[in-house]
Amino acid sequence: MTITDPILSLDGVCAGYGGGDVLQGVSFEVNRGGITCIVGPNGAGKSTLLAAVTGLIKPRVGSIKFNGETISGLSPRAVLSKGVVLVPQNHSLFPDMTVRENVELGAYTIKDRQVVKDRRDKIEEMFPVVRSKAKDKAGSLSGGQQRLVEFARCLMLDPSLVILDEPSMGLDPKTLHVVFQTMRAMNADGRSILLVEQNAKAGLKASSHGVVLENGRVRLLGTGREVLEHPEIATLYLGGSVEAAGGVR
Ligand SMILES: Nc1ncnc2c1ncn2[C@@H]1O[C@H](COP(=O)(O)OP(=O)(O)OP(=O)(O)O)[C@@H](O)[C@H]1O
Ligand SMILES: [Mg+2]
């Protein structure tokens, strides 16, 4: 599958934490304006891949390009300033600070207070929970509400690529639905999305493209639907047939 003008492309990326490579030559592209979902078992290297993209670890070999420009080797802050923002797998709000303070922290690199205020106002319109709970301590919110606040915070830098690491983790189905709806709203707002999901069924159904990662290698690439309907993937990750999962949207 070739994607013309991808927003992000990885080419032969090998990376790890010093004790050997976790990623063993990963190549794929993220389509501009779409939602690309990475699925794969625990320990496959999904979060490691996101760490490499966001500058937290440096690939040993291979390249990562954002808008055609090499970003592998840049610092996390430099990657952030290019418009690539990660919402990490584990909850990352400061529990003793208010919701509003947490959201404003997302704009810590922006000096212009008016820009910060304008963005915050726009974000509060998009996220009712951020407005209604503005003065509450972030730690008093439910897991799902905290996720939404994390999404809101990441939008403060007006990113063109939003990276979400397992946003559905620990959420009940109803909350998962709200979180995915919010992801689609961010996408409809012109942001490309790179999503990692353990809940492969829900993740692929919500996505334009899918990537299956296993043992640090890309096992399968395709549209979200192709990956979802692939017989082996259905058996491995989706607990049997796609029909049992309620079919494809
Ligand atoms: N900070 C770290 N230092 C050393 N090894 C790590 C570190 N983080 C992850 N690993 C190892 O790298 C491998 C891939 O882990 P990674 O977290 O990328 O997997 P994952 O696909 O995100 O899994 P999960 O679905 O459980 O989040 C694992 O063997 C893990 O133990
Ligand atoms: Mg992970």
CATH number assigned to the domain comprising residue 30? 3.40.50.300
Cβ of 199 below 6 Å from ligand 1: no
Domain boundary among 127, 158, 189: 158
Three-class DSSP category at 218 = strand
Clarify whether residues 96 and 216 are in a common domain: no
46 CA to centre of ligand 1 in angstroms: 8
9 CA to centre of ligand 2 in angstroms: 20
Specify the residue for token string 């430099």. 78
Q: Given the CA of residue 89, which atom of ligand 1 is nearest to it? A: 27
198 CA to centre of ligand 2 in angstroms: 9
Cβ of 200 below 6 Å from ligand 1: no
Clarify whether residues 72 and 176 are in a common domain: yes
Ligand of minimum distance to the alpha carbon of 24:
1
Indicate whether 249 belongs to any domain: no
Describe the strand order of the beta sheet including 192-196 as a list of residue ranges.
84-87, 161-165, 192-196, 35-39, 209-214, 217-223
CB distance 28 to 45 below 8 Å: no
- Flag whether pLDDT at 242 surpasses 70: no
CB distance 210 to 44 below 8 Å: no
User: CA 95, CA 134: separation in Å to the nearest integer?
Assistant: 13
Domain boundary among 158, 183, 205: 158
User: CA 166, CA 26: separation in Å to the nearest integer?
Assistant: 20
The domain total for the chain is 2
Residue nearest to ligand 1 atom 26, measured at CA: 42
Clarify whether residues 234 and 121 are in a common domain: no
Nearest to 64 by CA among 16, 30, 18, 22: 30
Cβ of 170 below 6 Å from ligand 1: no
Residue nearest to ligand 1 atom 7, measured at CA: 17
Burial 206-218 (b: 16+ CB within 10 A, else e): bbbbbbbbeebeb
Clarify whether residues 55 and 94 are in a common domain: no
User: CA 203, CA 64: separation in Å to the nearest integer?
Assistant: 24
Residues lining ligand 2 (ion), CB within 5 A?
A: 46-47, 89
Supply 226's token pair. 């192709």
121 CA to centre of ligand 2 in angstroms: 32
| Dihedral angle over CA of 151, 205, 174, 181, nearest 10 | 40
Nearest to 229 by CA among 205, 195, 194: 205
pLDDT attached to residue 239 = 56
% of the chain beyond a pLDDT of 90 = 78
Domain boundary among 98, 124, 158: 158
Clarify whether residues 2 and 77 are in a common domain: yes
Clarify whether residues 9 and 77 are in a common domain: yes
Indicate whether 182 belongs to any domain: yes
Can you give the residue range of the structural domain that contains 16? 1-81+167-243
Indicate whether 248 belongs to any domain: no
User: CA 205, CA 74: separation in Å to the nearest integer?
Assistant: 33
Q: Which of 11-15, 24-28, 90-94, 207-211 has the lowest mean pLDDT?
A: 90-94
Contacts of 40 (CB under 8 A, 6+ apart): 46, 212, 213, 214, 219
Q: pLDDT by residue (tens digit) across 103-156? A: 999 998 888 989 999 999 999 999 999 999 999 999 999 999 999 999 999 999
CB distance 178 to 129 below 8 Å: no
Ligand of minimum distance to the alpha carbon of 165:
2
Ligand of minimum distance to the alpha carbon of 44:
1
Q: pLDDT by residue (tens digit) across 29-74? A: 999 999 999 999 899 999 999 999 999 999 999 999 999 999 999 9
Burial 14-44 (b: 16+ CB within 10 A, else e): bbbeeeebbbbebebbbbbebbbbbbbeeeb
Cβ of 106 below 6 Å from ligand 1: no
Cβ of 20 below 6 Å from ligand 1: no
